[in-house]
Amino acid sequence: MRPLQVIHAVVTLLLLVAVLGFGLLALTGTVEVRLPTKERAGERPAAEDSIRPAVNPVGAKARLLVVRGAKPGMEYPIFEGPNVIGRADQKPVEIDLEFQESPERIWSSRQHAVITCDDGALVIEDLNSSNGTYVNRSRVPPGKKQELKANDLIQIGEVQLKVLL
């Protein structure tokens, strides 16, 4: 074998190892692969290109869209009455953030906040959580109710939820 053929074989082998290694990291979830969308490039996607279907469960008055979290694009319906946000444990919650946070970095309380829908009007209240509830980067004081409008951004720990009416 000539020296050039040896170099070519070594480089090909190294590339193969790199591709297989990256694939293994992607499969195990160590590395996340996100493809650019038309929205990020400044274009509005066509309806058929949308990554999430416009599903509105029967009786839902509004929705929360996960903007930042482990599963962006996921939607939570808001129904008439109280909708508790937190992590399902001994008490059930309507909006479970357990799967939006990594197990190593949990910021949401079990009963973190409540969004109350009263005749279509939405208000959020922090339930004396450890790390606070934020709306449009302003902290909601525990026990105080704050009105929510379309496109408001709720932040609980590292999870951001956009209000869709």
Residues of the chain below pLDDT 70: 32-58
Same domain, yes or no: 64 and 15: no
Question: CATH number, domain at 78?
Answer: 2.60.200.20
DSSP secondary-structure letter at 68? E
Do 2 and 77 share a domain, yes or no?
A: no
Model pLDDT, residue 56:
59
Q: How far apart are CA 32 and CA 142, in angstroms?
A: 35
CB atoms near residue 153 (< 10 Å): 14
Q: Which domain holds residue 22?
A: 1-45
Q: Say what the pLDDT of residue 11 is.
A: 94
pTM over the 0.85 mark: no
Nearest to 61 by CA among 44, 80, 87, 39: 80
Is residue 139 within 8 A of residue 131, CB to CB? The reply is no
Determine the pLDDT at residue 64.
96
Residues 10 and 91 both lie in one domain: no
